[in-house]
Chains A and B, each alone.
Chain A
Amino acid sequence: MSADATTNGAILQARGMRRAFGGLVAVDVESFSVMRGSITALIGPNGAGKTTLFNVLTGFERADHGEWTFDDRDVSGWPAYRIARAGMVRTFQIPKALARMSVLENMKLAAQTQRGEGFFPALLRRLWCDEEARIEARGVELLEWVGLAKQRDDYAGTLSGGQRKLLELGRALMTNPRLVMLDEPTAGVNPALTEQLLDRIRSVRDEGATVLFVEHDMDVVGSISDRVICMAQGSVIAEGTAAEVVADPQVIDAYLGERHGEAAMPTSEGPT
């Protein structure tokens, strides 16, 4: 099944990814791909290796081996900042708001290829003044879009957990990414805000970017994802539409195994 998925429609393709900590194998993925222009959910029980996979793909953690391409470019082993610059931008499970910077500064930071970020050009305001104004306008626009316009001058450290998730989303979009990777975007977000957030995620896709997100809430997964990938014990065990994956016996066993406190790997028979 996964072989079919890795046709030219994939924006991210990975092969033979493995990452172990000591004796514990956190990620061991034969093949993994994300279709261009889709919203893909990555699900799986706790400890399935979803976040580690995120970390490895985005250069935050080293892979023991494996290679992956983004937009047909081999980005295996690239450092995190280069991967982000290539257009693959992630958020974090526990949002990393830059606490002692204002909300707007958080946004402005995320703009790419800023001239004023060079040491010497920074000293001459003339060189980056116009660029800064453009970035600020874009930042304000995105803040309105995520609903944080009123907080633009507050310290990001004063935001609530849900607001931080929104800020992170806005900040990620500020980079003009082609693939946004959201690690549990709805965790800790209150239901009203969740609806708004999902709305935003949909429109990100509609504007042409691809979304990959880790999620636990199956209602959320069912409501917005085009495709679902399920991991357990470090491996991809199922892939397809939400309905298909939820019905997959291996997936059910994986979640049941979690409930029993141990991983009972399935045989072929499954419940209806």
Chain B
Amino acid sequence: MTCRSARSRRARVLSGAALALALLSIAAPASAGTEEPAGDEPASEETINARLIDQRGKQDKPVEGVTVVVEQGGDEIGQAESDADGLAIIPVPGPGKYSVRVDPTTFPKGLGLTDAAQEELPNVQVFAGRPKFVIFGFGERLDTGKTGFERVLNLAASGLRVGLIVAVAAVGLSLVFGTTGLINFAHGELLTFGGVVAWYLSASDGGLGITLVVAGILAVILGAGFGAALERGVWRPLRGRRVGNISLLVVSIGLALFLRNFIQVIFGSSPRPYEQYATQDPWHIGPIDILPKNAIAIVICVVVLVTVALLLLRTRLGTALRAVTDNAELSESSGIDVQRVIMAAWISCGALAALAGVLLGVTQSVDWDMGENFLLLIFAAMIVGGLGSPFGAMVGGMVLGVAFEASTYWVPVDFKKAMYLGALIIVLLVRPQGILGVRERVG
């Protein structure tokens, strides 16, 4: 309806895009909350506010005098130079998608973008009636003097980080799938839960101001509790009612929609980083430049994955988990408390997902749909590795992460998602049991 009155002006003009976005956001939860009642608000409040910050020191400093250009469909909409606060404000004609780039010839001496691929942000979404903030982070010029091979190595290192985080999340999903057969579409929200909880615990403004390491650990514990609560409050009763797996899958979709949008109401729709460790100087390890927080994230993931693997292989509970995954009925009749094992799977799942969420928050930022954005990648990791096999999920996550981050050296970044999903489909077709899975016997 917002569109109805505007529609009469017949949308052959620019606002067509805006209208489309506004109405279709109804169809598309990811951009929800963007529509505004027509007429209630002035039409052209929208601006793109670019903030340029120098992240070299302990404290961020503004970067002044850099030209920021806004374009749409190849036409320049406007440009501005960053002021003493590092801020460049460019008015735009209305909501819609714009591309924002910085002009490297205007950079101060010795400064470069911390991520050279971010020189142009192609898909900046401006919502009605609100300024849109984008951030360009500056640091030492890193890419200078690197050979192609070294850049691939750096990409692979960041792929390893993403892959390991995905692997951590995928192990949790896999444990639950293995023990219950549930394909949980609300798994992404478990990640978001972890990331958001840690944000609230650690933020000094709007949160409790707990130091991030402690906040992260608390978030993981609360994530475990959240997993347990979902199992106790939702999934176990439904299994008790003998609801089929397909129906449960649909329930999990409803749960995901609910949680995700509920989190958005509370947390808001703009991404927020953690205050601590937001800016760091990179370590130089051979040809690889890596931020300390990213290196530590990799170490944490490896430690956690190895621990989980050992727990699964060496402990009674781990053995029971694997037995239930193998054959729940047989395990039940041989005296394993299946409900308890499933509860253990959910607790681990919640904790691992929350950890993945916190690590994503540390290495990127916290966002209400961060989990949803990773969900298909997590599914892909689980399936590529072997459905229901936690070890497969670990392998799948790492393989996908490294392969596809490294591939961005040759392939445009915006194809990356298409590529891992394509790989997922090919694996399903060629080797449906996954890399580590065993072909199941039919009949």
A residues neighboring B (CB under 8 Å)? 21-22, 51-52, 55, 60-61
Contact status A52-B443, CB under 8 Å: yes
Contact status B441-A21, CB under 8 Å: yes
Contact status B438-A61, CB under 8 Å: no
12 residue pairs of the A-B complex, CB under 8 angstroms, read A21-B439, A21-B441, A22-B438, A22-B439, A51-B443, A52-B443, A55-B442, A55-B443, A60-B442, A60-B443, A61-B442, A61-B443
Across-interface contacts of B442 in A (CB, < 8 A)? 55, 60-61
A21-B433 Cα distance, complex, nearest whole Å: 14
Residue of A nearest to B438 (CB): A22
Given contacts A21-B441, A22-B438, A22-B439, could you give 8 more A-B pairs where the C-beta distance is less than 8 Å? A21-B439, A51-B443, A52-B443, A55-B442, A55-B443, A60-B443, A61-B442, A61-B443
Across-interface contacts of B443 in A (CB, < 8 A)? 51-52, 55, 60-61
A21-B441 Cα distance, complex, nearest whole Å: 7
Distance of B443 from chain A, by nearest CB (Å)? 5
A97-B34 Cα distance, complex, nearest whole Å: 50
> Number of residue pairs across A and B with beta carbons under 8 Å?
12
- Give chain B's interface residue range (CB within 8 Å of chain A): under 10
Q: Which of B412-443 contact A (CB under 8 A)?
A: 438-439, 441-443
Distance of B395 from chain A, by nearest CB (Å)? 20
Residue of B nearest to A21 (CB): B441
A21-B443 Cα distance, complex, nearest whole Å: 12
Distance of B374 from chain A, by nearest CB (Å)? 34
Across-interface contacts of A51 in B (CB, < 8 A)? 443
Q: Name the 8 nearest CB pairs between A and B, nearest first.
A: A21-B441, A55-B443, A61-B442, A60-B443, A61-B443, A51-B443, A52-B443, A22-B438
A22-B441 Cα distance, complex, nearest whole Å: 9
Across-interface contacts of A55 in B (CB, < 8 A)? 442-443
Across-interface contacts of A61 in B (CB, < 8 A)? 442-443
A21-B439 Cα distance, complex, nearest whole Å: 9
Residue of B nearest to A26 (CB): B441
A52-B441 Cα distance, complex, nearest whole Å: 10
Residue of B nearest to A54 (CB): B443
A186-B211 Cα distance, complex, nearest whole Å: 69
Distance of A69 from chain B, by nearest CB (Å)? 23
Across-interface contacts of B439 in A (CB, < 8 A)? 21-22
Residue of A nearest to B442 (CB): A61
Residue of B nearest to A52 (CB): B443
Distance of B389 from chain A, by nearest CB (Å)? 16
A51-B443 Cα distance, complex, nearest whole Å: 8
Across-interface contacts of B441 in A (CB, < 8 A)? 21
Residue of B nearest to A92 (CB): B443
Distance of A92 from chain B, by nearest CB (Å)? 9
Distance of A83 from chain B, by nearest CB (Å)? 15
A180-B441 Cα distance, complex, nearest whole Å: 25
Distance of A93 from chain B, by nearest CB (Å)? 9
A141-B443 Cα distance, complex, nearest whole Å: 32
A29-B443 Cα distance, complex, nearest whole Å: 19
A55-B438 Cα distance, complex, nearest whole Å: 21
A21-B440 Cα distance, complex, nearest whole Å: 9
Across-interface contacts of A22 in B (CB, < 8 A)? 438-439
A52-B439 Cα distance, complex, nearest whole Å: 16
Distance of B434 from chain A, by nearest CB (Å)? 16
Across-interface contacts of A60 in B (CB, < 8 A)? 442-443
Distance of B375 from chain A, by nearest CB (Å)? 31
Across-interface contacts of A21 in B (CB, < 8 A)? 439, 441
Distance of B33 from chain A, by nearest CB (Å)? 40
Distance of A197 from chain B, by nearest CB (Å)? 23
Distance of A55 from chain B, by nearest CB (Å)? 5
A52-B442 Cα distance, complex, nearest whole Å: 9
Q: Provide the B161-202 mask, 1 if CB < 8 A to any CB of A, else 0.
A: 000000000000000000000000000000000000000000
A22-B442 Cα distance, complex, nearest whole Å: 13
Distance of A183 from chain B, by nearest CB (Å)? 10
A22-B437 Cα distance, complex, nearest whole Å: 13
A41-B260 Cα distance, complex, nearest whole Å: 59
A68-B443 Cα distance, complex, nearest whole Å: 21
Distance of B245 from chain A, by nearest CB (Å)? 15
Distance of A205 from chain B, by nearest CB (Å)? 27
Residue of A nearest to B443 (CB): A55
Distance of B431 from chain A, by nearest CB (Å)? 15
A61-B441 Cα distance, complex, nearest whole Å: 10
Residue of A nearest to B441 (CB): A21
Most chain A CB inside 10 Å of its own CB: which residue of B438, B439, B441: B441
Distance of B3 from chain A, by nearest CB (Å)? 37
Distance of A155 from chain B, by nearest CB (Å)? 16
